[in-house]
Amino acid sequence: MKYVFGVDIGGTTVKMGLLSDEGKCLEKWEIDTDKSNGGEKILPDVAASIEAKLKEKNISKDDVIGVGAGVPGPVDSKGVVHKAVNLGWGTFDAAETLSKLTGLKAMVGNDANVAALGEMWLGGGIGYSDIVMVTLGTGVGGGIIIDGKIVNGSSGAGGEIGHMHIKDDEEKACGCGGHGCLEQYASATGISRTASEKFDSWGGETVLTKDDLSAKAVFDGVKAGDKLCMEIASEFGNVLGKGLAMIAAVVNPEAFVIGGGVSKAGEILLDYIAPSFDKYAFSGSKNAKMVLATLGNDAGMYGAAKLVL
């Protein structure tokens, strides 16, 4: 058996996994992300942790295919990171650095893209080779996989679908500085904002309370048949379905894989996205399936490992 390491570098912790080359997770653990001095210790810490694990397990480097890492920031197809503000990183060849530090073959990708690869390999997108992963969390992330390969984009911004301009009349600015980005409506934050706006003017009964207008509360309410919640979910689904229709006209994927915290609502989420997708999508690209992600927070670790396989 050959081994591979999957590493998902986040702003607080680094998730690490030792996997077989067939994707079986043999062990997973976390280390702290040390962001001091421009994050200069992060990759050495990762390398030291790999070294320690190999020693502990008595595994020779000859039996390790390599190490893959996902990073929260733009990464080009050569593994060069173009600033990862959450880690304090500037622009440098992270793949080369990680390879030198570990003495192993190393590949680096953007975390959302790498998560998409993980879901295609072992999660909701299994069996497909052309997918778009949509991560609905605090923001909206995306990862495009075509013919089994990540679309990194020319400056590492491939799959940044959260920042597609979707509404013209938005007055509030998105975190990116733009106005009317998909993320402003389809993220957990966006759903909560819509809930807050609608809650204030709602005349009827509702299970929602001013104290909890979270995306989770909204979808719990939808499941309980709450009308206000269903209205909020409809608005969310309408915007997201329209965005996915536009993406389908560009890359015509086999499937959209919906993940992130909001996707914990389950299949009912898809019921709200699908009608809008169907309404706005070009006939030739309507074939796209809509499925839920299944790997949760481990998608990045799995996908990172897949990078080197």
Kindly list the residues in this chain that would bind a copy of itself in the complex (CB under 8 A).
74, 77, 130, 142, 144, 146-147, 149, 151-161, 163-165, 176-178, 181, 242, 245-254, 280, 282-285, 287-288
Closest distance to a copy of itself from the beta carbon of 254 (Å): 4
**Which of 91/206 has CB closer to a copy of itself?**
91
Among 252, 261, 256, 309, smallest CA distance to 286 is for 252
**Which of 129/206 has CB closer to a copy of itself?**
129
- 147 φψ region: left (φ > 0), alpha (ψ -120 to 50), beta (else): left
**Which of 138/285 has CB closer to a copy of itself?**
285
- Contact 104/67 with Cβ under 8 angstroms? yes
**Which of 176/268 has CB closer to a copy of itself?**
176
User: Two tokens at 4?
Assistant: 């591979």
**Which of 177/204 has CB closer to a copy of itself?**
177
Helix (H, G, I), strand (E, B) or coil at 38: helix
- Contact 297/13 with Cβ under 8 angstroms? no
Closest distance to a copy of itself from the beta carbon of 159 (Å): 7
Please state, in angstroms and rounded to a whole number, the distance separating the CA atoms of residues 53 and 204: 58
Question: Residue 268 CB: number of other CB atoms within 10 A?
Answer: 11
Closest distance to a copy of itself from the beta carbon of 297 (Å): 24
**Which of 9/247 has CB closer to a copy of itself?**
247
Please state, in angstroms and rounded to a whole number, the distance separating the CA atoms of residues 303 and 148: 12
Closest distance to a copy of itself from the beta carbon of 211 (Å): 34
Closest distance to a copy of itself from the beta carbon of 49 (Å): 30
Question: Helices marked H in the chain — which ranges?
Answer: 36-39, 42-57, 94-102, 111-122, 183-186, 188-201, 215-223, 227-251, 267-280, 299-307
**Which of 43/131 has CB closer to a copy of itself?**
131
Question: Residue 13 CB: number of other CB atoms within 10 A?
Answer: 13
**Residue 166 neighbours by CB under 8 Å, 6+ apart:** 180, 181, 182, 185, 239, 242, 243
Closest distance to a copy of itself from the beta carbon of 155 (Å): 5
**Which of 35/82 has CB closer to a copy of itself?**
82
Closest distance to a copy of itself from the beta carbon of 133 (Å): 12
What does DSSP say about strands 140-146 and 149-150: parallel, antiparallel, or unpaired?
antiparallel
What does DSSP say about strands 131-136 and 255-259: parallel, antiparallel, or unpaired?
parallel
Most distant CA pair in the chain: distance in Å?
68
Closest distance to a copy of itself from the beta carbon of 25 (Å): 29
* Bridge partners for 229 per DSSP: none
Closest distance to a copy of itself from the beta carbon of 151 (Å): 6
**Which of 65/251 has CB closer to a copy of itself?**
251
